[in-house]
Amino acid sequence: MTSTDLSCIDVVARALALEQGRTPVGIYVRLSEDKALRAGNEDREEGEQVAEQRRRLHEAAPRFGCVVVREYNDNNTPASDPFIVRRDFEQMLKDLESGEIRGFLFTHSDRVARLEYDAARVNRIFAMFPSYVGRALDGGTDLSTQEGRTTFMVQATMGAYEVANTKRRVSGTNKARAMRGKKHGGPRPFGWNDDRETLHAKEAEDLLKAIRAIPGGKLVGEVRKEWIEAGYTPRANKKSRESGNNWTLQHSTVEARLVNPRNCGYMVYIPQQLHRESSRLWLPDHVLYKDGKPVIGDWEPACTPEEWAACVSAIEARKEANREGNPAHDTSPAYFLTGIARCGECFFPMRATLYTKGTGAYAKYRFRYQCRSSLGGCGGVSRVGPPVDDLVETAFLDDLRKRLKKAEAAKAEVIDTAKNDARLKEIDWEKKQVKNRRDAKRISVIAAMDMIESLEKEEARLVKETRQLQAAKAKTATDTDEEILRRWKDYTTSEKRARLRRSIRAVLIHQVGRGKRFDPAFIEILWTKGE
């Protein structure tokens, strides 16, 4: 029997029980974690413990003058978490209030309630209907009496106290393990094998490639598209398995994989309460520090700290630009000079639009750059796009080649990524001193909080600055003129445009008479270095 709706057998059994003077009741069974289900045994619905609870309750029912007409089963569901709704428990309370059942049997009170709130809801019903049967096989709880309800409440209160202490101990243990760099349990991270220590050959290669490409202008949306084409999917959860939906990678999932501090070996610790308070945590802000330095985990890293920091800084900068309404932040760029080409008459940014009216030789150009009056421009300049792109691209690459030939080429700037380490270590020590002074009651709670919050703000600022220094170091080491020339053909449009912006401030497209052929003289490149 199930607890979803009363079946014909339930109704008949209930009617017979009332006719024979016996009480129609339900039985409630539960186990917080069923290891048979956790092991992925699809041939079984439950383990031996829940089956044993059911057997004992059915056998005991006649002793209490009862007939079981309904089963309530919250297997594999904890009763100590106020955020989790036990569906069968809620249905049982409704059936008790409506009189569909006139009591229920259970093996022990901790199977039914481990929170005071749940115990109070059960006690309210039995106080309203004192003739109901509510008996535990173990522990002697009888909900039909005031003494039994009091005992039931005390047991739930002690259970909640025990759970709170257990969570506190587990949280402390988890953080202590994290401080030693020991990984905790969980699903297999993207980029690692099932042991969560060694790198997955294909995933780690694609992850590293994407991490290195983001600082160069590649967008998360482009990485997402490539990963979907490669067959990567999000981690299946219980909801997706039950629904049978074929989930695809979301932008947020790809972004989270890219900025995960685990990629460079950094340990992250996030308390469970913080997980509940926010559905989207920015993982780079939760790197665990000890003596001013990130704690290193006991697994093989997928990239260097500098490469990870460069990726994180690039994504953070794009998010900030997006919050400020900067149109340059585009998730799907299609044109080389988007945000760079400007009208030579009014300096308004030009938009690329499909070239639909071209015939003959013009048909091959596909799109054109326009100064559109509908967006605020003068509307007086329009130019076919591909020749402009080719002209600017050639000029840019020629400029790179010229710079490489200069004997006096500037050496790479030496960037000190460890300049904040000493202060971060001091902050860690100062926070401990504040706590010690508060424990000794030498300062007030308010004073301690003011000091801690001030130190935390400074720590967050220095951590972010260090990440930016690491990003700059990685960029200086890898994104040289020689590297750009070597990999130019492999870059996406967004990557090319990002590098273009470093040398070219704008491309001015000047007006020409109608019907004239494309003339490079009417395209003006404004170089950032003042050429």
pLDDT of residue 18: 67
Q: What are the φ and ψ backbone dihedral angles of 419, each rounded to 5 degrees?
A: -65, -25
Tokens of 206: 């694609």
Cα distance between residue 512 and residue 348, in whole Å: 17
Alpha carbon separation from 505 to 96, 250, 353, 498, 530 (Å, rounded): 74, 34, 22, 11, 9
User: Nearest to residue 294, comparing CAs of 171, 452, 470?
Assistant: 470
Q: H/E element holding 24?
A: strand 23-31
Averaged pLDDT in 10-residue chunks for the chain of 531 residues:
47 66 90 58 61 92 91 88 90 94 93 92 95 91 93 87 66 61 74 91 94 88 91 67 61 91 88 60 84 86 91 86 55 71 89 67 69 85 87 88 62 67 86 86 85 88 83 66 80 83 87 74 82 45
Quote helix, strand, coil % in the chain, to nearest 5. 50, 10, 35
Q: Where are the alpha helices (DSSP H) in 78-213?
A: 87-98, 109-112, 116-128, 146-179, 201-213
Instruction: Quote the pTM value.
Output: 0.52
- Give pLDDT, residue 363: 53
DSSP single-letter state for residue 383 = E
What is the pLDDT at residue 86? 93
pLDDT of residue 93: 96
d(CA 335, CA 386): 9
- Residue 175 CB contacts under 8 Å (≥ 6 apart), including other chains: 269
Residue 66 DSSP SS3: strand
What sign does the dihedral 128-129-130-133 (CA atoms) show?
A: negative
- DSSP readout, 276-325? HH-SS--GGGGB-EETTEEPBPSS--SS-HHHHHHHHHHHHHHHHHHHTT
Q: Write down the pLDDT at residue 228.
A: 92
Cβ(269)–Cβ(178) below 8 Å: yes
What b-and-e string marks burial along 16-28, b requiring 16 or more CB atoms within 10 Å of the CB? ebeeeebbbbbbb
